[in-house]
Amino acid sequence: MPVMNTGPHHSLDEVKKLVAAGDFIVMKGRALDLLVPPLTYNAALGFVAAAIQMLTIDNFYKSVQLTYDVADEYGLTIDGVGWYIKVCIDRTIPEVVVISFHPPQRPMRTKAGLVKAS
């Protein structure tokens, strides 16, 4: 369910700071399992971290209500490949939780432009 807002629920600067410090996890399923293989585990983590550092507020797509939190969705194009990225911050630790990281299932229009589906 979308959350009505004009910007991300979680500060993108805080997300980037936590990821840069190594305070993040990449969930299995719609994130890590789609990257390993072909990448090694460490290469996948490095790719995810680098992609998050590339995000700008213009890549923001929408926020969605989860069972216990709100997640922010971003669309990013890297070397002509579109990526759908869903993140939230677990404030009890704190760390960034990368819930999804994969090519989008449908095109995403962000202020940065159209992110094409795979």
Q: Which fold has domain 2-115?
A: YaeB-like fold (3.30.2310)
Residues 91-110 have pLDDT tens digits of 999 999 999 999 999 999 99
Mapping DSSP to helix (H, G, I), strand (E, B) and coil, where does residue 13 land? Answer: helix
- Residue 4 scores a pLDDT above 60: no
Share of the chain above pLDDT 70, in %: 96
Domain residue ranges of the chain, discontinuous segments joined by +: 2-115
Q: Tens digits of per-residue pLDDT, 14-29?
A: 999 999 999 999 999 8
Q: Is the pLDDT of residue 44 over 80?
A: yes
Contact 112, 74 (CB under 8 A): no
Sheet hosting strand 2-3, strand order edge to edge: 2-3, 60-65, 70-78, 81-90, 95-102, 24-26
The rounded distance, in Å, linking the Cα atoms of 28 and 14 is: 23
pTM: 0.93
Whole-angstrom Cα distance, residue 46 to residue 66? 26
Which runs of consecutive H residues, i.e. helices, occur in the chain? 12-20, 41-54
